[in-house]
Amino acid sequence: MRSERWVLPLVLAALLLGAWQLAITVTDAHVVPGPLEVLRGLDELANRGVLVGYILDSLRRVLVGFGIAVALGVPLGLWMGLSPTVFAAVNPLIQILRPISPIAWIPIAIVFWGIGEAAPIFLIALAGFFPIASSVPAHVREVPTMFVHAARNFGLSTPQIIRRALFPAVLPPLISTLRLSLGVCWIVVVAAEMIAVDSGLGYLIIDARNAGKRYDLVVAGMVLVGAVGLLLDLSFRLLEQMPSVRWGFRSHS
């Protein structure tokens, strides 16, 4: 039922909050903040005028980095799926670099880009690029070859085949890949902001930890990261359900 999609998560969240507060009360733990303290921390951030600004700064960095990853990864992935030669040349390099955690690139990013906006955006773009570039060729290979042959018979060039035949055919699974890539980007921005900038939710968490051990603000930052990540995921799920992207080719082998 439609109501269960909202009622059940809310009930579970309420139970978890209650268990959280009960654990704090029973153990008399003073270091770990309870839900009410976290709520007061969020109110403090709002009154200081930094709450919305930090969220928007993180979102801006993620959207720019994710946009770069999409602009580079999607065309390359389509080209790799269309051309066995390009796939054979590029795929080994992608598979070598893909398992490297984006966090491991932080020192290199700082060396090349310094402390500022460029370093976290580079890390976010890097994190989002590899899931796209490694998944899109597999989506392309699921498209029947007769689509490509028919496009060539009509005299279309390779860029035209990619734009007019392959891209529409792989759009539904591509949207799912982009949703996963965006989730990775949102994870990485928190780590990147702990190192290279002085704003954003990642900076909020590390600054609250270092400046007086404000664990209520640390947990408040964590809650904000999770809430914004949920909203980003829901936005892509709504996009997946749009009629214009649900029709795509499905293999029935």
pLDDT digits (tens, 9 = 90+) for 43-95: 988 998 888 999 999 999 999 999 999 999 999 998 898 889 999 999 999 99
Residue from 196, 197, 28, 193 nearest 205 by CA: 193
* 115: CB partners within 8 A, 6+ apart: 196, 197
Residue type, 117: E
- The tally of CA atoms less than 13 A away on the side-chain side of residue 156 is 17
Distance between CA 153 and CA 150 in Å, rounded?
Answer: 5
Could you list the pLDDT tens digit for every one of the 253 residues in the chain? 666 677 887 888 889 888 888 888 787 767 778 888 889 989 988 998 888 999 999 999 999 999 999 999 999 998 898 889 999 999 999 999 999 988 888 888 888 887 778 889 999 999 999 999 999 998 888 887 787 778 778 788 878 877 777 777 888 888 889 999 999 999 998 888 887 788 889 889 988 888 777 888 899 999 999 999 999 988 888 877 776 655 554 443 3
CATH number of 33-246: 1.10.3720.10
Residue 20 sits at the vertex; the CA angle it makes with 216 and 230, to the nearest 5 degrees, is 75
Tell me the Ramachandran region of residue 157: left when phi exceeds 0, alpha when psi lies from -120 to 50, beta otherwise: beta
pLDDT tens digits, residue range 242-253?
Answer: 766 555 544 433
Distance between CA 91 and CA 206 in Å, rounded?
Answer: 37
- Which pair of tokens denotes residue 187? 């994870």
What residue spans define the domains of the chain? 33-246
pTM: 0.83
DSSP 12-69: HHHHHHHHHHHHHHHHT-SSS--HHHHHHHHHHHHHHT-HHHHHHHHHHHHHHHHHHH
